[in-house]
Amino acid sequence: MKKHLSLALMLIVSACMLFAGGSKEAAEGLDPINVSHHPYIHGLPTIVAENEGIYTANGLAPNITMYGGGTAQNEAIASDAWDVGTTGMAGAVLGVVGYDMKVIGATVYDGNTIDIWVRPDSDIAKVKGQVEGFPDIYGTADTWKGKRIICQSASNCHLVLLATLEKFGLTADDVEIVDMTVAQSYPAFKAGEADVVGLWAPFGYLAEQEGWIKVSSANAVDLAFYNLIVATDKAVKEKPELVQRWLKTYCEGVEAIRANQEEAPSWLYEFSLDEGITTTEEDCVKEIALRPFPTIEEQKELMNSGELKDLFLTFAQFLVNQGNLTQADYDKLATGDFIDTEFINNL
Amino acid sequence: MNQTKEILKTIGFTMLSIGLFLVLWTFLAVRNPDFLPSPLICIEKLGQMMGRPISRVSLGGHILSSLRRVLLAVFFATLIGLPLGLAMGWSRKVNAFVAPIFEFLRPIPPIAWIPLVILWFGVGEVSKVFLVTLGAYVPILMNTVTGVKMVPPVLLNVGRIYKASNVQILREIVLPAALPAIFAGVKTAVSSGWMIVLAAEMMASRSGVGFLINRGMEAYDVAMIIVGMCIIGVVGYLISIVLTFLERRLCPWKTNLE
């Protein structure tokens, strides 16, 4: 009996020991830094920087984690899982409010790839340019009214959708919005659900292939979206020199992409496959062309002029309207110093 | 001779079942390839996943990550469930003290704990293992209680006649008699742990089969989702075989009775 119990215990403990993970040691002479991205284009500069030896040249040993989205990335701040990284606008707003995250730069412009789509036989697609000053929006108030729309709530897509409805004098109450993540929205719409769908890249490229019609977009309603370069409050306070060096490294990765526009799509393609994201080289060409990286000078302009803060606050106000933030949160943002221009101005 | 025939028959039925399943799958896939990739496409995807690490982790690494979480959780669940179950089964007072809380907590699905677990432990390994442990300790505890309660009174009386102490009765009579039930609980715990780990890995994970399925969902890669599901099935089946083998070694009298 004792023999049997000991055997069972030994087996369990051995299995646990066998599978126990080891921690990565930073390379000698390099400063470790925990970097967080999403497995999409704004994570590419880090990968390029790593592959091209830019991290090593700047004395950094990155521990890179790719989070599926901003929510998970923000939750990981609590366990000190990362110091610096990039995220989308929604993730950044919620990260600043919930975790005192700092915005230290701007990256990939998203205005070209946040779109609203319908099937070709939709009555919305029949007419275009009915709203003065917004020639790229399709449909009329009557054709939009009562439509069932799949859209991820509190997202860039949602903001574009509401802005589109507003142009026709409509509100969210005039349509039926079905909340679904963008990843689920595409197959749901493809399966015949709803009349309209809000998508962003790379799902927009699939929508194009399906022959769906783009009836509105961030550009069409004059909304601008940037992804953001961020750092945790703790990293900014406790290791500003590392944050500075990392931002330099990331921006050098951006410059490498900007300087190699012909090679960049294949870098993105390889990066996507490495992260388990199925894509095509053609879609990567579109990604690089439609989602440009701002230069350091453009970032400085965006941040020092207050434009980035305005865009940020526009999105925050939208989240307040949706009930995702309180007015107190907004006021805290409006008066706060969450945009830290010091790092980018030092470059 | 007859035994060989029986084995061949069993293999034949198994092959027939798998063959029919694949034919049905292919038939449905041909009708709607966008929503259900064919077995061939999934095999091709599996080949890609085996040849290229995803998020810097090999396919084997992803499977081991999930397996490690499940085994650790079952280990902790056994540490909690076994002594508590023995105590609850042995002593009415302990049972009266613990059972109300246990019965209250038991129906709460481990997934419902996710928001709290994130608040308490963040999104690292601890939270994932904790979540799986929450689901895994229940069958171990329940089976242990039942196993102890079902020890034939005649065995206990023999112990008492020979003036064995309570500890001796527990160790030499109750525990061996309850072992088959306890083992069945551990088996169930591993299976349910394997199911819960997938949900746990959907919260900010960097590796694991749940991570692969989530990544497939994010990228609308249906083949990757199906490959992930098949891995769950195969690994679950292999775990079941290993546990059955272990059970035969640890409780040979049970096999003899069967």
pLDDT in tens, A73-97: 998 888 888 999 999 999 999 999 9
At residue B78, φ and ψ (nearest 5 deg) are: -70, -40
CB nearest B55 (choices: A66, A78, A186): A66
pLDDT of residue B245: 87
pLDDT of residue B2: 76
pLDDT of residue A293: 97
Question: Comparing C-alpha atoms, which of A222, A252, A227 is closest to residue A302?
Answer: A227
Instruction: Provide the percentage of residues in chain A whose pLDDT is more than 90.
Output: 80
pLDDT of residue A21: 45
Which residue reads 């819960």 in tokens? Answer: B196
d(CA B75, nearest CA chain A) in Å: 7
- Tokens encoding B95: 């049972």
Band (A27; pLDDT cuts 50, 70, 90) = low
Q: Are the C-beta atoms of residues B159 and B172 closer than 8 Å to each other?
A: yes
Alpha-carbon distance of A111 to A221, in angstroms, equals 10
Q: Are the C-beta atoms of residues A334 and A313 closer than 8 Å to each other?
A: yes
Q: Are the C-beta atoms of residues B235 and B212 closer than 8 Å to each other?
A: no
- What chain B residue is nearest to A71 in terms of C-alpha separation? B204
Which one of 1.10.8.60, 3.40.50.300, 3.40.190.10, 2.40.30.10 gives the CATH number of domain A33-110+225-345?
A: 3.40.190.10
Question: Comparing C-alpha atoms, which of B226, B214, B88, B64 is closest to residue B145?
Answer: B88
**Which residues does A264 contact at the CB level (< 8 Å), separation at least 6?**
A44, A257, A288
Q: Are the C-beta atoms of residues A318 and A291 closer than 8 Å to each other?
A: no
The strand pair at A148-151 and A31-37 is best described as unpaired
d(CA A180, nearest CA chain B) in Å: 12
The strand pair at A196-200 and A102-109 is best described as unpaired
In a domain, B163, yes or no: yes
Q: Which of A9-18, A144-153, A171-180, B104-113 has the lowest mean pLDDT?
A: A9-18
DSSP secondary-structure letter at A150?
A: E
A186 touches chain B (CB under 8 A): yes
Q: Give the residue ranges of DSSP H helices in chain B.
A: 2-31, 39-51, 59-90, 92-105, 114-121, 125-149, 153-161, 166-169, 175-201, 209-218, 222-250, 252-257
Alpha-carbon distance of B15 to A330, in angstroms, equals 63
* pLDDT tens-digit map of B165-224: 888 998 889 988 898 899 889 989 998 898 888 888 877 778 999 999 988 988 889 999
Contact B220 A79 (CB under 8 A): no
Which residue reads 């070209």 in tokens? Answer: A112
Q: Which of A24-33, A159-168, A258-267, A305-314 has the lowest mean pLDDT?
A: A24-33
pLDDT of residue A235: 97
* pLDDT tens-digit map of B54-64: 988 999 999 99
Q: What is the mean pLDDT of residues B38-57?
A: 92
In a domain, B64, yes or no: yes
pLDDT of residue B224: 94
Q: How many domains does chain B have?
A: 1
Q: Are the C-beta atoms of residues A316 and A90 closer than 8 Å to each other?
A: no
Contact A278 B224 (CB under 8 A): yes
**Which residues does B53 contact at the CB level (< 8 Å), separation at least 6?**
A274, B59, B61
ipTM over 0.85: no
Comma-separated ranges of CATH 3.40.190.10 domains in chain A:
33-110+225-345, 114-217
Q: What is the mean pLDDT of residues B73-79?
A: 95
Question: Comparing C-alpha atoms, which of B21, B140, B161 is closest to residue B88?
Answer: B140
Distances (CA, A) of B240 to A93, A218, A291, B147, B244: 47, 52, 49, 21, 6
In a domain, B17, yes or no: no
In a domain, B205, yes or no: yes
Question: Considering only CB atoms, which chain B residues are within 8 Å of A8?
Answer: 246, 250
Query: Structure pTM?
Result: 0.80
Quote the domain boundaries for residue B130: 40-257
Question: Comparing C-alpha atoms, which of A208, A228, A204 is closest to residue A103?
Answer: A228
* pLDDT tens-digit map of B123-159: 788 989 999 999 999 999 999 999 999 998 898 898 8
Which CATH number belongs to the domain containing residue B99 in this structure? 1.10.3720.10
In a domain, B31, yes or no: no
- Tokens encoding A95: 């990260």
Which among B76, B123, B201 is the top mutation candidate for probing chain A, defined by the most A β-carbons within 10 Å of its own β-carbon?
Answer: B123
Q: What is the mean pLDDT of residues A261-268?
A: 96
Q: Which of A22-26, A118-122, B233-237 has the lowest mean pLDDT?
A: A22-26
Instruction: Provide the percentage of residues in chain A whose pLDDT is more than 70.
Output: 92
Q: Which residues share a beta bridge with A103?
A: A230, A339
Contact B215 A20 (CB under 8 A): no
Which among B36, B55, B114, B172 is the top mutation candidate for probing chain A, defined by the most A β-carbons within 10 Å of its own β-carbon?
Answer: B55
Contact B55 A12 (CB under 8 A): no
> Edge-to-edge strands of the sheet including A148-151?
A176-179, A148-151, A196-200, A114-118, A213-217
In a domain, B29, yes or no: no
The answer, yes or no, to whether residue A222 has pLDDT greater than 90, is yes
The mean pLDDT value of chain B amounts to 89
Q: What is the mean pLDDT of residues A145-163?
A: 94
Question: Considering only CB atoms, which chain A residues are within 8 Å of B246?
Answer: 8, 11
CATH no. of A114-217: 3.40.190.10
Q: Which residue has the higher pLDDT, A143 or B214?
A: A143
